[in-house]
Amino acid sequence: MSLTPQLPLARTKLDRDADSRKIPGFLDQLWSQPDTRVVLIWRGEALVTAESPVRLDLRSPRDVPSGAERIYLGHTVEAIRSLPQGTKVVAAVLDDEQGAEVEPDLSRWMSARTMAHTLDDLDAGIVIEALAMANWHFAHGFSPVTGALSIPDQAGWTRVDQSTGASLFPRTDAAVIALITDGDDRIVLGSNALWESRRYSLLAGFVEPGESLEAAVIREVFEESGLVVINPVYMGSQPWPFPASLMVGFSAQVDPAHSLELQPDGTEIVDLRWFSREELRNSREHVSLPGRPSIARAMIEDWMGQALTDDD
């Protein structure tokens, strides 16, 4: 069974409604309807309510500053909370002045990278889609082909090169992440040079052009650890819009014909360790695992056969 349904950033209660994006003036139509709901994005964070449990503070179009970049996210597939089935949802990306004007209290702006797992299925799907699209627009104000100015089109789902009229479409960078086991069913965890010294996670890397996902697993693991692995098997996937990735999880085994010696590349990975379940459980005082929104955490807990609290 795929892990995808259990992953915190893979949840959604939206139909993306791709056909409606092509309707001329569709966003303006939605802006005239008071039942349209808007999620506000500012500096890569989303506006949330002050109450507990935390929820997105979905606003009416009339509450959104004029000039904000707008992206149609889709409509709800069922009645949920106070929203009827079919409620249209739009993301509005605010600039520095607009965000501070709407809500100067920084505690009301949530980082999905650390907090998305606390949201329900509706809010998680909304905020991850909104952030992914906001990040794409931010990076593509100019055409990567001609360098000319590009402007949004199709309800925020394309940009148009103003020199050629060509449409630019959103892109996602595929990255593999691997749970590697040896003959004793231990896993290998690595510490990245950019992390605090106690933090360990699974090995991961971007898929290169002309490369299959399975080949990327084998290559990345060897480059980062010196291990030769076989039998990559898909486990699940989830978006990671920080800024624009899709994390694809695999399990694989060390080839018994090769050494188990760990050889960190010394540049990206500075330390590697083998862990049995008992060793990992007993090491939590000294080993910090990936955060709950990550696919790495879910894959490790799946191997452990239990959820791990932050105090375990």
Q: Are residues 189 and 107 in the same domain?
A: no
Give a yes or no: residue 83 inside a domain.
yes
Identify the pLDDT of residue 197: 79
Report the share of the chain in percent with pLDDT over 70.
Answer: 99
Residue 82 domain-assigned (yes or no) = yes
pLDDT of residue 148: 98
Q: How far apart are the first and last CA of the chain?
A: 26
Looking at the fold, whether 45 and 84 belong to one and the same domain comes out as yes
pLDDT at residue number 7: 96
Q: What is 96-137 written as a DSSP string?
A: HHHHHHH---GGGEE-HHHHGGGS-HHHHHHHHHHHHHHHHH
Q: What pLDDT band is residue 94 in, cutting at 50, 70 and 90?
A: very high
253 assigned to some structural domain: yes
How would you classify the pairing of strands 14-15 and 37-42?
unpaired
pLDDT over 50 (residue 312):
no
Mean pLDDT of the chain: 96
pLDDT for 196 equals: 82
Q: Is it true that the peptide bond before 53 is cis, omega within 30 degrees of 0? A: yes
Which whole number is the average pLDDT over 64-89? 97
Q: What's the number of domains the chain is made of? A: 3
Q: How many residues does the chain have?
A: 312
Nearest to 237 by CA among 181, 289, 180, 294: 294
26 and 134 in a single domain? The answer is: yes
Which tens digit of pLDDT belongs to each residue from 25-40?
999 999 999 999 999 9
Q: Answer whether residue 309 is part of any domain.
A: no
The answer to the question of residue 163 being in a domain is yes
* Confidence label for 277 from pLDDT (cuts 50, 70 and 90): very high
Residue 18 host element (H or E)? helix 18-21
Domain shared by 215 and 299, yes or no? yes
Q: Are 287 and 179 part of one and the same domain?
A: yes
- Determine, yes or no, domain membership for 312: no
- The yes-or-no verdict on residue 310 having pLDDT over 90 is no
Containing domain of residue 46, as a range? 4-139
Q: Is 132 found in the same domain as 14? A: yes
Judgement on whether residues 9 and 134 belong to the same structural domain of the protein: yes
Tell me the pLDDT tens digit for each residue of 138-175: 999 999 999 999 999 999 999 999 999 999 999 999 99
The whole-number average pLDDT for the span 194-221 is: 95
